Amino acid sequence: MLPDRERNALREIELELQASDPAFAAAFAGRTLREARRWNLLLVLCDVTAVVMLVVGLFARDAALVLWGTVAAGALVAWHIARAETARKSAPDGTTAATDSL
């Protein structure tokens, strides 16, 4: 465990870094690259599931599958837009954040 003086010094450095370059600081905070890949994989699997629900519902003439496939597709579009906005806001200088890449 670090002494209080060193812990405070590290906290001050962290605050200065966040203030001067938030995109760089965000790349090291929170999520890892592996975690971002898992979320991307989950999003792709959800996309495939929604498309399969729509196609099977249309061919089977099952209104419930078509309805839920449409609802899922709408929710996934919102999820894609939210992720794109988050990626755009996390990198205001035009570079992409390391957590958003595959």
Contact assessment for residue 76 and residue 47, using Cβ atoms and an 8 Å cutoff: yes
Exposure of 36 by Cβ count < 10 A (0-12 exposed, 13-18 middle, 19+ buried)?
A: middle
Domain of 73?
A: 32-100
Q: Are residues 44 and 26 in the same domain?
A: no
pLDDT of 45 over the 70 cut: yes
Give the whole-angstrom CA distance, residue 80 versus residue 45.
13
Give the whole-angstrom CA distance, residue 87 versus residue 3.
36
- Total domains in the chain come to 2
Q: Are residues 76 and 87 in the same domain?
A: yes
pLDDT in tens, 60-93: 999 999 999 999 999 999 998 888 888 777 655 5
Query: What pTM was computed for the model?
Result: 0.54
Q: Are residues 25 and 38 in the same domain?
A: no
